[in-house]
Amino acid sequence: MRPGRLLLIDKPVGPTSHDAVSAVRRALGLRRAGHCGTLDPAASGLLLVLVGEATRLAEVFAGHEKVYRGRVRFGLATDTDDAQGREIARLADADFQVAPAALDAALAALAARRSQRPPGFSAIKREGVPLYKLARAGRLDAASLPERPVRVGPILPLAFDGRELELEITCSAGTYVRALARDLGELVGVPAHLAALRRLASGPFRVEQALPLDALRPGAVGEAPGLSPAEALASLPAVVAAAGYAERLRFGAQPGAGDLAWQEPLPPPGAWLRVLSPAQELLGLAQVEAAGDSPRLALRRQLGAE
């Protein structure tokens, strides 16, 4: 297969994200591969896997907004905030009742939050050590962890029987849905954990487009599975390089005044843009450094046309 592809993988419950990437490497006979956005072993759904030269684009795809379907179980809390952890609190079904009005208020409060306390059992590092290692060693007070910026919402309740809530959540990259389940329990005054999770979407990509992981047996995939960089990045807004700059860009030259043209207003600083040739070939990626009256773009990646 040609180098530089984005594969959409439907990861089942059980394997780690690293296991999924290893399966891709074996099936395609490649050494360079990596995923964008970890899924816990207990979670299933869409996993973006970059192979070959496309691994240089991980930063672009990792920041995608995500959509999940989850199931929250009330009456039981765990130290990992999901069904894999050690039980730390339990109420008998007869000892609690979650009123629909209280649940609606709690969901609205969660959707308005812009920060989150991460789970103690997570890969976030403190002084170079993953938190889960500190938690396993009993050297972590998870309740004292500082909050991290996130964006949550909308949260759509799909079904609720008084004990379990099925919901669909849209959230920013870096949001822990199991921590949302924990916080939902705290808001209604009942211990809770995330019983199941499936990622439905990452940016413009949907799990319905994905290839099941077990279809990646060696020799079972086609010559060029997945999406080329041009196809994978097609949803990004574009700027067009002037003919002279299109040639200089190939040598890594940064754009100057008049080198790039666009019709729509620029997105906010930090946003990624495709840089196209006058013939609409994908030449590279730029990032907005300043918008408004004094726009400024910086070339971040060079991408030769396939």
The residues annotated as belonging to the active site are 40
Distance (Å, whole) CA 76 – CA 73: 7
Sheet containing 260-261: which strands, arranged edge to edge? 260-261, 238-241, 272-276, 282-290, 296-302
Instruction: Render the burial of 90-112: b for 16+ CB within 10 Å, e for the rest.
Output: eeeeeeeebeeeebeebbeebbe
Write out the two tokens for 231.
């196809």
Secondary structure element (H or E) that encloses residue 231, with its range: helix 229-232
The secondary structure element, H or E, covering residue 130 is strand 129-130
Cβ pair 55, 34 in contact under 8 A: yes
Mark 1-32 as b/e (b = at least 16 C-beta within 10 Å): eeebbbbbbbbeeebebeebbebbbebbeeee
- Report d(CA 139, CA 141) in Å as an integer: 7
Question: By the 8 A CB rule, do 152 and 113 touch?
Answer: yes
12/260 Cα distance (integer angstroms): 43
Across the strands, what pairs with 198? Answer: 44, 69
CA distance 20 to 27: 11
